[in-house]
């Protein structure tokens, strides 16, 4: 399956995810990519002016959209177990996202995500739990 998903958020802050692929299994594997384009985006232009760096919160937003591609629109972030940002993502970088989603017995979704530059190096890893709020 391939589609485009525009992130919900102020001024469409997150770059548009492209080439989303969902591979069923246990865990479900979701891959997607995006290009960081700061022009006209106040969130990106203001984050280190003159040397734009993608704020880490946008990586978390991309993970949320990948989880929803795998499990539908209901799951919300319940717990951020770990988030490590190991290298900056700059304007015009193409990033690749891989998200593994497994369902726990409780019905919650355990998520492990990796983000990297298309040219190779990993830029972030995320471990989280998604589910429905009580």
CATH of the domain at 36: 3.10.129.10
Q: Indicate whether this model's pTM tops 0.85.
A: no
Number of domains in the chain: 1
User: What's the whole-number mean pLDDT along residues 37-48?
Assistant: 70
Residue 11 CB contacts under 8 Å (≥ 6 apart), including other chains: 41, 42, 43
Asked if the structure places residue 126 within a domain, the reply is yes
- Three-state secondary-structure class, residue 23: strand
Asked if the structure places residue 1 within a domain, the reply is no
Catalytic residue among 18, 37, 47, 122: 47
- Three-state secondary-structure class, residue 83: strand
Task: Give pLDDT tens digits for 49-60.
Answer: 777 788 888 889
Tokens of 17: 């995810």
User: What's the whole-number mean pLDDT along residues 74-95?
Assistant: 91
User: What is the bridge-based pairing of β-strands 28-35 and 76-85?
Assistant: unpaired
Asked if the structure places residue 113 within a domain, the reply is yes
92 flagged as catalytic: no
What was the pLDDT predicted at 45? Answer: 67
The range of the structural domain enclosing residue 16 comes to: 10-131
Task: Give pLDDT tens digits for 91-126.
Answer: 888 999 999 999 999 999 999 999 999 878 999 999
Asked if the structure places residue 96 within a domain, the reply is yes
Question: What's the count of helices (H) and strands (E) in the chain, helices before strands?
Answer: 2, 6
Asked if the structure places residue 4 within a domain, the reply is no
Asked if the structure places residue 95 within a domain, the reply is yes
Asked if the structure places residue 3 within a domain, the reply is no
Asked if the structure places residue 20 within a domain, the reply is yes
């Amino acid at each position: 399956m391939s589609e485009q998903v525009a992130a919900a958020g102020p001024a469409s802050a997150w770059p548009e995810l492209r080439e989303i692929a969902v591979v069923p299994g246990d865990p479900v594997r979701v891959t997607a990519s995006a290009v960081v384009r700061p022009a006209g985006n106040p969130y990106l232009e203001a984050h280190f002016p003159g040397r734009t760096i993608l704020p880490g919160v946008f990586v978390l937003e991309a993970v949320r959209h990948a989880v929803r591609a795998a499990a539908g629109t209901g799951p919300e972030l319940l717990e951020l177990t770990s988030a490590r940002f190991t290298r900056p993502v700059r304007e015009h970088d193409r990033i690749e996202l891989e998200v593994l989603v497994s369902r726990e017995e409780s019905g919650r979704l355990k998520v492990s995500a990796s983000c990297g530059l298309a040219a190779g190096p990993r830029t972030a890893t995320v471990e989280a739990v998604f589910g429905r709020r009580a």
